């Protein structure tokens, strides 16, 4: 068991970096439920191995290593499924996925800034589609707009957000 001060630092680090770990799991697994399962197993293993973590080192690289082994274990357990990557492929993808997941917090902050710049209708459209899980027909009907108009608006909003995020990332690397 960790001393209380190190335990607090561990919990703070795990909480702060959980979105990056979640992004890592989702990037490596096509199935959302599998990604959640691997994330949960990773968090349990991190807790079990918490005494192995040196609080004077970066948490995220260590956590990514645990996540990678948890992911490999998951793939070995799922070998009988249709599409399973070989361990070599997973190892090759790991570096790029870790880099992308590390940037997740910065991209999320940039997204929040960009969302704040949107008018009410685009924010409402994004909320209805991504958060409330409404389909485009339902949104079109509720808003009194045509289906093609809603589709085009959603496409433009995505493009606008993508460009805004890239600008924010260049401004605040």
pTM above threshold 0.75: no
**What is the full DSSP assignment across the chain?**
---HHHHHHHHHHHHHHHHHHHHHHHHH-SSHHHHHHHHHHHHHHHHHTGGGS-TTS-HHHHHHHHHHHHHHHHHHHTTTSS----HHHHHHHHHHHHHHHHTHHHHHHHHHHHHHTS-HHHHHHHIIIIIS---HHHHHHHHT--HHHHHHHHHHHHHHHHHHHHHHHHH--
Q: Does residue 68 have a pLDDT over 80? A: yes
pLDDT of 31 = 82
* Average pLDDT rounded to a whole number, residues 14-27: 89
Residues 82 and 6: their CA atoms lie apart, in Å, by: 43
* Average pLDDT rounded to a whole number, residues 35-56: 92
Q: pLDDT averaged over the chain? A: 85
* Average pLDDT rounded to a whole number, residues 46-52: 91
pLDDT tens figures, 89-135: 666 666 666 766 667 778 888 888 999 999 999 999 988 888 888 88
pLDDT of 74 = 87
Sole residue written with tokens 């209708």: 121
């Amino acid at each position: 068991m960790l001393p209380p001060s190190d335990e607090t630092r561990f919990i703070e680090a795990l909480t702060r970096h959980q979105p990056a770990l979640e992004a890592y799991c989702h990037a490596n697994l096509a199935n959302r439920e599998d990604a959640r399962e691997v994330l949960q197993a990773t968090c349990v293993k991190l807790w079990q191995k918490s005494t192995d973590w040196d609080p004077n080192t970066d948490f995220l690289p260590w956590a990514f290593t645990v996540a990678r082994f948890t992911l490999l274990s998951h793939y070995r357990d799922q070998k009988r499924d249709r599409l399973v990557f070989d361990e070599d492929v997973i190892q090759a993808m790991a570096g790029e996925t870790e880099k992308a997941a590390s940037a997740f917090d910065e991209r999320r902050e940039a997204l929040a800034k960009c969302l704040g710049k949107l008018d009410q209708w685009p924010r409402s459209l994004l909320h209805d589609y991504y958060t409330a899980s409404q389909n485009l027909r339902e949104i079109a009907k509720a808003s009194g707009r045509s289906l093609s108009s809603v589709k085009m608006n959603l496409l433009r909003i995505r493009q606008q957000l993508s460009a805004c995020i890239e600008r924010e990332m260049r401004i605040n690397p």
